[in-house]
Amino acid sequence: MKTIICGGTIISASDEYKADILIEDGKIAQIGIDLSKIDVDEIIDANEKLVLPGGVDVHTHFDLPMFNTVSSDDHYSGHKAAAFGGTTTVIDFVPQTGNDLKKDIDGWLKKSEPKAAIDYGFHMNISIFNQDVADQIPGLIDLGITSLKVFTAYNSTLRLPDADIFKVMRIAKKYGFLTMLHAENGDIIEILVQEAVTAGNLTPEWHAHTRPAWGAVEAVTRGISFSAQTEAPLYIVHMNAAGEVDQLAYGRDLGLQVMGETCPQYLFFTVEQLLRPDGSKWICSPPMRSEEDNQRLWLGIMEGTIQVVGTDHCPFFFDGSKSITYEEIDIKIPGKELGKEDFTKIPNGLPGVGDRLPILWTEGVGKGRITPNQFVAVTATNPAKIFGLYPKKGVIQPGSDADIVIWDPNKRLTYGVEWSKHRTDYNLYEGWELEGYPVKVFLRGKCIVDGKKWQGNAGEGKFIKRMPFGQVI
Ligand code: URP
Ligand code: ZN
Ligand code: ZN
């Protein structure tokens, strides 16, 4: 099968140029001018449109059991929502349930393989650590799982003691893993939550008050110091506070192998959101901060301190006692209402995988905060490079997978839950006016989104074995 996308303007992380793209057997075969003369099966007209590499979202949680419920997008509905928003590759986290990492990975593959509609990889959470686990970690490289997430918070569940994080990072250095850090101070959170509960402070904003920014800043600094001492690369996930960005800049100025990711929610929202009657919609960990934090995060992206905008997509229903219709089936999954009376019981997490590109384009490129090249860099090329997917993913060049988004920079719409295809009952950006949206999305050469039409299928997404960590960008 041969297809040509002709007449579009290709945007890469560094260039912008008008050219045609020949796609052959799912790969980009050629880029040039006047390719439309070649005999092909299909010609796609991209005149007046931009042509971008498919987005790479390296931070999703599909079908994740937590808080006596499960995140409401599974590996099909989440992939479909991602595709509608211009993302063609995701990396999801495998939770560790015991001492057998392979068992957890096989379990996650079993859930995802039949449902996957876009390409995907896995990170491995390391939340239980002992010699047995340490011995199994190196074997993950052969499975194509080349990143490990560790936590300095969630004391009774996911947190590792500092000594174990240090040991994990030594293994990471030796075998070529990238360590990802969830940076908050678990001990202080425990104290503050206890105090809030005892004082009867149970409304959603207390979720934020009990997870202070200083804890995040301190934990980022701790992580950077571990990176310095182990000489292992470190990637800070979901950066949310100004001081974290300052510390990351400090580490990078020293030449340390440290990188960072933020997510759209931390660029646009503040703790004020949690005061709304529907404040639980914005509950995630780490929490929303202040406008100063939003501004510093934007600056971090602009100056290159932060390399990636991911999503931490982990949606729940706002009111899981009522069903929504998803692909003609009524579905309801317990959600934020579980914590109506007590913020400690609100499932942490929010939707975003489909929102990321459209929101960042309008608010970032449209408002002059970032260039179109920076947009491509932080949403596709940098995450692909950092997580061992490049140049298969994250770039439009001969030999790469033909994961391509035809983007209409002039498309105007009022965004919200109707547009985003997340399997939940709300959208954080309800009513936002957007300018710029995907019109066609290709996965390995197949058009899976054509305007409002879904042409993808469960099971068509492939698990991608990623390469070991390469280099810091
Ligand atoms: O609230 C969040 N972010 N839930 C997902 C888990 C995590 O820590 O990334
Ligand atoms: Zn996290
Ligand atoms: Zn997460």
Q: Which residue type does 97 have?
A: T
Burial 244-254 (b: 16+ CB within 10 A, else e): bbbbbbebbee
Kindly state the average pLDDT of the residues 212-217.
98
Whether residue 125 has its Cβ less than 6 Å from ligand 1? no
Largest interatomic CA distance in the chain: 74
Q: What is the pLDDT, as a whole number, of residue 441?
A: 99
User: Residue 139 above 90 pLDDT?
Assistant: yes
Q: What would the pLDDT profile of 69-128 be if each residue is shown by its tens digit? A: 999 999 999 999 999 999 999 999 999 999 999 999 999 999 999 999 999 999 999 999
158 Cα–ligand 3 center, Å: 12
The topology under which CATH files domain 2-52+396-454 is Urease, subunit C; domain 1 (2.30.40)
Q: Which residue type does 113 have?
A: E
- Report the alpha-carbon distance of residue 258 to residue 246 in Å, rounded: 12
Q: What is the pLDDT, as a whole number, of residue 149?
A: 98
Enter the DSSP assignment of 342.
Answer: -
Instruction: Output the six-digit token pair for 61.
Output: 């949680």
pLDDT band at residue 5 under the 50/70/90 scheme: very high
Q: Are 231 and 284 in contact (CB under 8 A)?
A: no
Q: What is the pLDDT, as a whole number, of residue 116?
A: 99
Q: Are 401 and 444 in contact (CB under 8 A)?
A: yes
Whether residue 75 has its Cβ less than 6 Å from ligand 1? no
Whether residue 285 has its Cβ less than 6 Å from ligand 1? yes
User: Closest Cα partner for 183 from 147, 141, 211?
Assistant: 211
Over the chain, what is the mean pLDDT?
A: 98
**3-class DSSP assignment, residue 145:** coil
Q: Where are the domains of the chain?
A: 2-52+396-454, 54-386
| Ligand 1 atom with the shortest distance to the CA of 59 | 9
User: Residue 176 above 90 pLDDT?
Assistant: yes
User: Residue 453 above 90 pLDDT?
Assistant: yes
Distances (CA, A) of 414 to 210, 214, 417: 35, 37, 10
Q: What is the pLDDT, as a whole number, of residue 352?
A: 98
Q: What is the pLDDT, as a whole number, of residue 153?
A: 98
Whether residue 312 has its Cβ less than 6 Å from ligand 1? yes
User: Residue 36 above 90 pLDDT?
Assistant: no
Q: What is the pLDDT, as a whole number, of residue 126?
A: 98
- Report the alpha-carbon distance of residue 388 to residue 147 in Å, rounded: 9
pLDDT band at residue 167 under the 50/70/90 scheme: very high
237 Cα–ligand 2 center, Å: 7
User: Closest Cα partner for 286 from 349, 351, 342, 360?
Assistant: 349
Instruction: Output the six-digit token pair for 203.
Output: 């409304």
Q: Which residue type does 150 have?
A: V
Q: What is the pLDDT, as a whole number, of residue 162?
A: 98
Q: What would the pLDDT profile of 347-369 be if each residue is shown by its tens digit? A: 999 999 999 999 999 999 999 99
User: Closest Cα partner for 86 from 439, 369, 384?
Assistant: 439
Q: Which ligand is nearest to the CA of 66?
A: 1
How many CB atoms are located within 10 Å of the residue 164 CB?
A: 18
Kindly state the average pLDDT of the residues 35-43.
94
Hey, whose CA ends up nearest to atom 9 of ligand 1? Answer: 312
Q: Which residue has the tokens 């099968």?
A: 1
Q: What is the pLDDT, as a whole number, of residue 457?
A: 98
User: Residue 290 above 90 pLDDT?
Assistant: yes
Q: What is the pLDDT, as a whole number, of residue 57?
A: 99
Ligand 1, pocket-test mutation among 155, 237, 348, 353, most atoms within 8 A of CB: 348
Whether residue 311 has its Cβ less than 6 Å from ligand 1? no
CA angle 425, 430, 435 (to 5 degrees): 130
**3-class DSSP assignment, residue 95:** coil
Q: What would the pLDDT profile of 272-282 be if each residue is shown by its tens digit? A: 999 999 999 99
Hey, whose CA ends up nearest to atom 8 of ligand 1? Answer: 285
Q: What is the pLDDT, as a whole number, of residue 325?
A: 98
- Report the alpha-carbon distance of residue 30 to residue 23 in Å, rounded: 7
- Report the alpha-carbon distance of residue 409 to residue 227 in Å, rounded: 40
Backbone angles phi, psi at 375, to 5 degrees: -55, -50
- Report the alpha-carbon distance of residue 432 to residue 443 in Å, rounded: 28
| Ligand 1 atom with the shortest distance to the CA of 237 | 9
How many CB atoms are located within 10 Å of the residue 118 CB?
A: 29
312 Cα–ligand 3 center, Å: 4
Kindly give, in sequence order, each residue whose CB lies less than 8 Å from that of residue 116, ignoring residues fewer than 6 positions away: 75, 76, 79, 458, 459, 460, 461, 462, 463
Q: What is the pLDDT, as a whole number, of residue 404?
A: 99
pLDDT band at residue 340 under the 50/70/90 scheme: very high
Instruction: Please tell me the CATH superfamily of domain 54-386, with its number.
Output: Metal-dependent hydrolases (3.20.20.140)
Q: Which ligand is nearest to the CA of 58?
A: 3
